[in-house]
Structure 1
Amino acid sequence: MIESVINPLNTDWTTWVITAFCALVAGMSKSGLKGFAMINIPLLANLYGGMASVGILLPFLIFGDIFALVYYRRSAEWKYIKILFPWALAGVLIATFFGRYINDEQFRISIGIAIIICLALIVYKDIYGGKQVLSDKKWFSSSLGLSGGFATMIGNAAGPIFNLYLMSMRLPKNVFIGTGAIFYLILNLLKFPIQMFYWDSISLKSLQLNFVLLPVLLTGAFIGKRIVKYIPEKAYRYFVIGVISVSAIMLFF
């Protein structure tokens, strides 16, 4: 009886423990350690398959977004969300109808290349300076928004793309986290009914597992929030750039 409650998908316990670890990582990522959750994508896909893994991960991300929003909502900047959201929404709509027919490997590689190129531009500007801000360029915001919306719908893999956009503005740490929290929450809530009723990647049993592991996710969120407090602004920027780089490389594999 207890087993059917805490393990509704009837997986082996190794799979259950790894899923719990992914919940912990999602909480840590959403509370400030940006990019950590990227490791959840290949882990869950290997355990449950591509489509099912997307449905298992999405509620974890929503829980984490809500936690981050509670703590960082006063630091959020809506003007950045307004710039990126229309393009991201377009990407989500495209992925909703055409996502099943696109070669996943080719998509991952193209996104990885795009992230590395944009990241190189940001690092170049950090080193050599310059008054021009990349985020002011329409091609920069539109391309990242569109590809990010597509990536978040296909595989919850938009973290590096949206983090890259916010990072290009050199936002303070708390503004970076708070703005991202609102933006991700809006997109993830829009994705939820699509994945549950159109893609059938979310079931009542998978949702039950999400709620069972909610305490684990909240533990990760508190851990992440504590760690972020002790990371200086400059070091935090380098940390996020490093995680984005690793995440982009992971997309190739």
Structure 2
Amino acid sequence: MIFDPAYLAAMVPAVILVGLAKGGFSGLGLLSLPLMALVLSPVRAAAIMLPILIVQDIVSVWAYRREFDRRNLAMMLPGALLGVLAGYLLASRVSDAAVGLSVGIISVAFAARRLFADGKAQQLVTKAELLPGTFWGAVCGFTSMIAHAGGPPFQIYVMPQRLSPPAFVGTGAIFFALINLMKVGPYLALGQFTHENLMASAALFPLAILATLAGVWLVRRVPAERFYTIIYWLLILVGLKLVFDGFTGLHLFS
């Protein structure tokens, strides 16, 4: 499987996208799992990707170890744990297509409002608070557990706070590193860490590390306003992809 051309054609770009996302361009990461699902079942693809994500987490957390927002982590992590547990318990009953559709709609609506509806008016800057942080943390944990799709909910909650780009990326790096560690137990319980899956993950580790370092290098060289504009556009593109996949998966086009 590791050297199958179709497998490599899907997995190599997916790992590069996730690496760039871990390095700072977080919208790109959501494109990886649909790409892998072209050649593998979604559950198996997610299981192969999890060890890669954890290795990339080590790189990104080290790179941003001094640049993160402690208050956001404190507000979001308890909810994230509940979300991961809910995703594990309800995985057999909840449709990935339905979750992807809802996340996609929210992502597109949020990003479009920030880009277009606000115009040139001053955008309201929010701050981290307990109840919204717990709610969005739970959404992040749930969608991350079932589809590695925690990025848009995190962006919806944190981006209006207008953190500096390094603080925004560093907070996300530490937050999702901890979520990924939370997911190890559930994936073990699902029996997905087989020898073949772990070997497939190991073969992609070097590429994952290089892509993450490239993302870190790029995000430190993109001006703040341009950074947020890029993230909003990525959020729209990824949201549209999730909406399309959700409609298709639910057979709403037929």
TM bucket (normalised to shorter chain) is 0.7 to 0.9
Match of residue 163 from structure 1 = 155
| Cα displacement string for residues 138-186 of structure 1 (whole angstroms, at most 9, x for unaligned residues) | 3x43442222211000010111211232212101011011111110000
Alignment of 1:59-208 (within 5 A): 59-120=51-112, 122-123=114-115, 124=117, 127-129=120-122, 131=124, 133=126, 135-136=128-129, 138=131, 140-195=132-187, 197-208=188-199
Equivalent residues, number = 243
Q: Which of 222, 229, 232 is 1:231 aligned to?
A: 222
One-letter amino acid matched to 2:185: P
Distance in 2 of aligned mates of 1:222 and 1:86: 29
How far is the alpha carbon of 1:121 from its aligned partner? Answer: 5.3
Structure 2 counterpart SS, 1:164: helix
Structure 2 counterpart SS, 1:46: coil
How far is the alpha carbon of 1:211 from its aligned partner? Answer: 1.6
Match of residue 6 from structure 1 = none
CA 1:10 to 1:45, structure 2 compared with 1: closer, same or farther past 3 Å?
same
How far is the alpha carbon of 1:200 from its aligned partner? Answer: 1.8
Q: Which of 204, 208, 212 is 1:217 aligned to?
A: 208
Worse-superposed segment, 63-72 or 112-121: 112-121
Structure 2 counterpart SS, 1:101: coil
How far is the alpha carbon of 1:72 from its aligned partner? Answer: 0.8
CA 1:125 to 1:136, structure 2 compared with 1: closer, same or farther past 3 Å?
farther
Structure 2 counterpart SS, 1:206: helix
Q: Which of 11, 18, 21 is 2:13 aligned to?
A: 21
Structure 2 counterpart SS, 1:171: coil
1:135 and 1:168 in contact (8 A); partners too = no
Using the aligned pairs only, state the percent identity.
25
Q: Which of 22, 47, 56 is 2:39 aligned to?
A: 47
Distance in 1 of aligned mates of 2:211 and 2:170: 17
CA 1:131 to 1:229, structure 2 compared with 1: closer, same or farther past 3 Å?
closer
CA 1:122 to 1:83, structure 2 compared with 1: closer, same or farther past 3 Å?
farther
Match of residue 252 from structure 2 = none
Tell me, which stretches of 5 or more residues in structure 1 are unaligned? Answer: 1-8
Tell me, which stretches of 5 or more residues in structure 2 are unaligned? Answer: 245-254
| Cα displacement string for residues 20-47 of structure 1 (whole angstroms, at most 9, x for unaligned residues) | 2222222111111221121111111121
Q: Which of 30, 42, 48 is 2:22 aligned to?
A: 30
CA 1:199 to 1:127, structure 2 compared with 1: closer, same or farther past 3 Å?
farther
How far is the alpha carbon of 1:215 from its aligned partner? Answer: 1.0
Distance in 2 of aligned mates of 1:18 and 1:149: 26
Over aligned residue pairs, what C-alpha RMSD do you find? 2.1
Distance in 2 of aligned mates of 1:148 and 1:10: 30
1:58 and 1:188 in contact (8 A); partners too = yes
Distance in 2 of aligned mates of 1:46 and 1:186: 28
One-letter amino acid matched to 2:65: R
How far is the alpha carbon of 1:229 from its aligned partner? Answer: 2.7
Structure 2 counterpart SS, 1:242: helix
Q: Higher helix proportion, which one?
A: 1
**TM-score between the two structures when normalised by the length of structure 2:** 0.87
